[in-house]
Structure 1
């Protein structure tokens, strides 16, 4: 309780000048810091980070001894670590009854959002097949804590977006984890989310929660940008595995060839908060949920500000309903 109270106060003092999305993600990090550490997930994160670091250091020709030293320094992602520990120390100084309790900075739900993975992709990325239940329960607890802890006057639209996305992500895997809880909180709730448990054993229609579904689409499309930005063959192959608009088969070499002219002019492909901004993402959902597909365009925010490269795709609504996630088909990677 003490940790949650401190988290609520920290949420009130988050930087008001930060971008709306970064601020919302920081609030999510505050919330995650009050949850118990999911050891198996954190271990998987560290293992993944070490594997990527070793591969990079070997490519750079770093000697074995130095590689071992660098690996020993790897720790789990801990957003806002200094802020959270410092804020809680101040809170503790005024509330000595807190004792030895402390916050536990980590990034599981935040990592899921920032990488653009859906639940299945996240499990595969970290090799957590045997721990799916642990991941799902943790995300469910993160969702409940986000709903319960953030003061109403601090709930920006961006925070509500993350709340909707996280709740729907969990619901699509196992709606029982949150539906009964939401019914108890809002027994008279007439919204589709509040009635999700009435759909029986079938998976709820992922397109029905428009707010959450559009965030899923946006995250998936930006994941394409992230894959291109790293200029690695395995990432090109991952992008080639995305279903195509015309069902044609792609290879990693096809992806590399399509984006090659971009790299002739630019040394980096930005994936920062600016690059993820709404001005670079256009979703045409004018056809409504009854349409077969929604066109989508993600513009690459190149460092020179030309913004002339785009990734075009189509949201496959029927496939999305069947799979309980945003299924977006990749079209062209091209210069306008």
Structure 2
């Protein structure tokens, strides 16, 4: 870790490499899949890094595992705690369960029931809050004070970002194994944990690869921040992409503002259509947040035309009783 002039503790390439070794016993090396149909539809060659097949069903188990297993025994004695709309909550619960320490999570009452059930299944203890950033942080402050757990932020944590960065390292290795190199990589953006990890790895190992972030129009505070040059935070955006409702923070803004090429947005209808296309033609389950990259690629074909495009599918934890096309 290094500390910059603004006092931010920033993870380095060495932190990512150490994280990868630390978490290997607890994660999958997820596959990279392709679809000729979707390639022809988009006018580019896409390579989907499928974190929907990850342990706990989401990429966030990488960062959560790095944080949990990087704690000393003394620091871990009271367990860990966090606030999350779902995937970080269940990923941290998974990692804490593997280490045998408690995990307390604050979740909005509107979070998908499938994600709440997964948290409880991994042993996580849920305290519900209102679906706003303000409520989430207020309730969390009380829970942390009561439990004394180590706070593992869902994304604005250098340990978490170093863990998420291992996804792109694997992706580059897998592309090299098939004799390919991406021209660009597209990942969803909410708080910016995955995109920050992507920036960390690619800026060091493949600096010529362009990085695009994909965001819902209904929760486009990152896109507006990117254009304005400073963080703009919405308190309670309304989008089907429940994993992308949270705002950027200072650490993730560091990576976004320095390394992202552009942030592109998609409407709710475009996100649902991309999700449905993926289910239909790739035969895999992805959640709405993960459909946003494909949605923006299909919407901005001129940007990606003829390119080799890495697409990070971030998770597959879906409430099957509430599919968006029903």
When the two structures are superposed, what TM-score results if normalisation uses the length of structure 2?
0.31
Larger strand fraction of residues: 2
Larger helix fraction of residues: 1
When the two structures are superposed, what TM-score results if normalisation uses the length of structure 1?
0.30
